[in-house]
Amino acid sequence: MPQRLRKLIGTVLLLTLMVVWALVAMALAQGRVTELHWALQTVSYIILGVAWVIPAAFLIRWMERPDRKA
């Protein structure tokens, strides 16, 4: 698959990931997290806010792979 097509697919997937992650994080933050102790709330918000970077990094690495030589 050419890099240009991977970048197009990856961009769409990355935007989808960010929207879905934001909605899930908001749902979790409004649900059980509000009942926790303030210190656990802080840790939960940090994890929910940063954890999307891990799947995004794998997706970006896949997008940036060079083309195979024919």
Distance CA 63, CA 1 (A): 10
The two three-digit tokens of residue 37, written as one number: 């102790």
Whether residue 49 contacts residue 29, with contact meaning beta carbons closer than 8 Å, is answered with: no
Distance CA 10, CA 68 (A): 18
Residue 68 has pLDDT above 70, yes or no: yes
> What does pTM read for this prediction?
0.78
What average pLDDT does the chain have?
A: 91
Residue type for position 57: A
Q: What is the pLDDT of residues 37-53, one digit of tens each?
A: 999 999 999 998 999 99
What are the residue ranges spanned by the domains of the chain?
3-64
Question: Is 45 in a helix, a strand, or coil?
Answer: helix
pLDDT for res 69: 78
